[in-house]
Structure 1
């Protein structure tokens, strides 16, 4: 048994009362046995309860649940930070050319390992990931994540129109390949599968219907795609699906709107769409850095709350500009300021930990530090350089620490990242 001593913060349950329901231990103890959290509380209490435990002392640092990134694209690790495009031209000029390389298994494996290393050094322990149309890219990511016992939800992108010929499948192959990948990877170890039509414009009705059949056959798989990110995109969807009652309805007609459906963006939703999302139990992945970078718009958190829609934070790398979830909240705060409805630091922390886990029905396993949860956690050094030592005092409250790091922090704030009870990243001295 290992006993970790540090300041500790987490949300032990689902809540909208962020100030009241966060659990904070200024001198805390986290007991881990093998890959599972066994106990949590004040250090002196836990130490007395388990005198034989080996103590790792991180006093002055914070232990937090591993962070959950609910929407990102691992092939775009190498296309991040290109200048000057909006969504549709970004896809054409940067995304599609990059993804053509992933037919090569060796290339896919190389980028998968770089991608996972970037997650770990930024404190992310679970990712909801788009691969490419190639099965090889999916196998490469799941294999690399499995090697380190990392929780990954991922799927082969499905596209049978409005994309380069080299990246097209068809309704039959999309269904067959996805079914094969489900059988190979879903619920194997910590891997879970997500049916992944890229977005409505790149799938025919036949392909969406084929994926909808799989969604009914495999009721516990995830579904991930994009929704209402860009006004030109929405107009395009309307022209391609004239019989649909809006963008969300395109997916809804094919049984793709339900619990464990994760829709990236959702910036320009109608009242009817907001209501349907709340009713269905689906999740919106809020991607503020990407929304700002591509000039897509400002997410309406007030509408999400009013309609009881699950919201989870996400980087959306590579249109997103950072792998760091703290900085992603920093941009979410700026977006919400522009809408005159600032998202508090504690709510931001919730949306990348327990709130995301609840949205994805995974809170029995991740997102918190409850006894029985998997030992995915991070050790955070908030005072990692001259400026943060000046700004963040040693005795300040957690919400101030988290907010300061969302503005001033980067991967240097992550001291260690633990996956399934094993340290998989340690910052070099």
Structure 2
């Protein structure tokens, strides 16, 4: 059940282990490097970390024979998914009808976020949100809180208690937002510095300087945000960029001296190797060169882009231009926290542009690829000794249609592509965070 935790210091998971040692690229499935599939293996967990991965027919030493044994034979054991752009308070407005981005924010999102000024609402929301991530097989996330300091505080506190890798921060927003959702430059800076000092780098928590998007910050606030990024070692920066054509036009009106939407951030020192920019659909070649040169990443949010009608992200062009790309749910603009469903939507978006996204590429992007782009590859994203035991266990087929299709699969890729296409959180058997079970399917 969600939140279930055993105190056993050692666990042994048995199943088919899949992870990636390199980016498979946009190659045909049979020509993809880096796929590491280890059928019927044991994953030995000691405390928070993976101690060993070995064939199941290799005897355990006596000290491991008494460990808690979790038999998942026939199931897939993978690194937990990494969602690089998601909004905690927007569970309240997921699946809201009928508007594009800017109207959607005003009609649904901002009223929901205003409630998070209440500490009890923020705490309950953070608990509900993290448990929902675990129930979808996600073990790490880059998260938008709200403009209220208490909302970021609640996420940090809940994430710390669970020893979950979180990247989050208080949203910066000092204009073009309703009452109750605006801050001011001086107080926002004080709040950010306090949160950085108390949480960044502690208990697997990392701070992200969080600019909502360029229209909701004055030039003064953007300068302040850039100074925070430059002066506090190792902090991340997260924001939105070039999601919607009306939004791009608005940014051009608000910042007529900027070369582009991305330049609004770049000129104030916000773009660097720890910058995570959601969407990036309407960028040009110069923008992509800036992202490449700084090592920043685009958090591709496929279900959100389709649901809000924002546009079709050209993933292959971005990577050919040297831009790092990760995968995100963007709930609540996105319609599901399931990274499987977002992979399926990503496949459709690329197919409309003549590109075929393999299961290998999709799964790598949501695990080892995201870890690499976030600078966390020595902690998460693979099933290897020494890394954190952040894992998800999956049934690759649930229900009569999927089971029938699974039985007809000619090879592993065909089987896992069908899992991505037909699957969702109902396929999840268990989620482990820092060695502790956080979700077990009833």
Report deviation, 1:175.
Answer: 1.3
Q: How does 1:134-213 map to 2 (within 5 A)?
A: 134-213=148-227
Please say if residues 160 and 204 of structure 1, whose CA atoms lie closer than 8 Å, have aligned partners that are also in contact: yes
Aligned to 1:90: 104
Whole-Å separation in 1 of the counterparts to 2:398 and 2:437: 20
- Cα distance in 1 for residues equivalent to 2:116 and 2:74: 43
Rate the CA distance shift 1:308–1:56 in 2: closer, same or farther, 3 A.
Answer: same
Q: How far apart, CA to CA, are the structure 1 residues paired with 2:104 and 2:59?
A: 52
Per-residue deviation, 1:53: 5.8
Which residue number in structure 2 is paired with residue 131 of structure 1? 145
Q: In the alignment, is residue 269 of structure 1 matched against residue 269 of structure 2?
A: no
Aligned to 1:380: 394
**Count of aligned residue pairs for this structure pair:** 428
Q: Which residue of 2 aligns with 1:75?
A: 89
1:390 partnered with 2:399? no
- Who is 1:28 aligned against? 41
Q: Structure 1: where are the runs of 5+ without partners?
A: none
Runs of at least 5 residues in structure 2 that lack an aligned partner in the other structure = 1-9
- State how far apart, in whole Å, the 2-side matches of 1:395 and 1:420 are: 34
Alignment of 1:108 with 2:117, yes or no, is no
Could you list the structure 1 runs, at least 4 aligned residues long, displaced by more than 6 angstroms after superposition.
none
- 5 Å-filtered alignment, 1:174-253, equals 174-253=188-267
Find 2:426's aligned residue among 404, 412, 415: 412
Q: Is the 8 A contact 1:3 1:53 kept in 2?
A: no
Shift of 1:381: 1.3
| SS of structure 2 residue aligned to 1:84 | coil
* Matched position secondary structure for 1:298: coil
Please say if residues 76 and 395 of structure 2, whose CA atoms lie closer than 8 Å, have aligned partners that are also in contact: yes
* Aligned positions of 1:272-421 closer than 5 A: 272-393=286-407, 397-421=411-435
TM-score, with normalisation over the residues of structure 1? Answer: 0.96
Match of 2:20 in 1: 11
- 1-side partners of 2:117 and 2:393: how far apart? 37
Q: Sort the Cα spacing of 1:345 and 1:365 in 2 relative to 1 into closer, same or farther, 3 A.
A: same
Do the aligned partners of 1:326 and 1:402 also contact (CA within 8 Å) in 2? no
Return the offset for 1:403.
1.8
Distance in 2 (alpha carbons) for counterparts of 1:337 and 1:214: 40
RMSD: 1.7
How big is the shift at 1:394?
8.8
8 Å CA contact 1:130–1:157 kept in 2: the answer is yes
Structure 2: distance between partners of 1:49 and 1:347: 39
> Cα distance, 1:103 vs. partner?
0.5
Q: 2:11 pairs with 2, 27, 31, which one?
A: 2
Distance, in Å, in 2 between the alignment partners of 1:7 and 1:398 is 11
Instruction: Note the alpha carbon deviations across 1:255-312, whole angstroms, 9 max, x for none.
Output: 1000010000000110100111111100100000000000000001121111121111
Say if 2:397 and 2:419, in contact at 8 Å, map to a contact too.
Answer: no
Query: Is the Cα contact below 8 Å between 1:79 and 1:98 reproduced in 2?
Result: yes
- Give per-residue Cα distances to partners, 1:164-205, cap 9 Å, x unaligned: 122111111221111111111111101111000100000011
- Could you tell me how far apart the structure 2 residues matched to 1:388 and 1:11 are? 25
Query: Partners in 2 of 1:276 and 1:22 — Cα distance?
Result: 31
Are 1:290 and 1:316, in contact at CA under 8 Å, matched by a contact in 2? yes
Q: Distance in 2 between matches of 1:184 and 1:396?
A: 52
Q: Mean Cα displacement is larger for which, 385-394 or 146-155?
A: 385-394
**Residue number among 53, 57, 67 corresponding to 1:40 in the alignment:** 53
Q: Does 1:61 align with 2:75?
A: yes
2:23 and 2:364 in contact (8 A); partners too: no
Secondary structure of 1:407's aligned partner: helix
- The farther-off stretch of 199-208 and 399-408 is 399-408
Q: What is the aligned counterpart of 1:258 among 252, 269, 272? A: 272
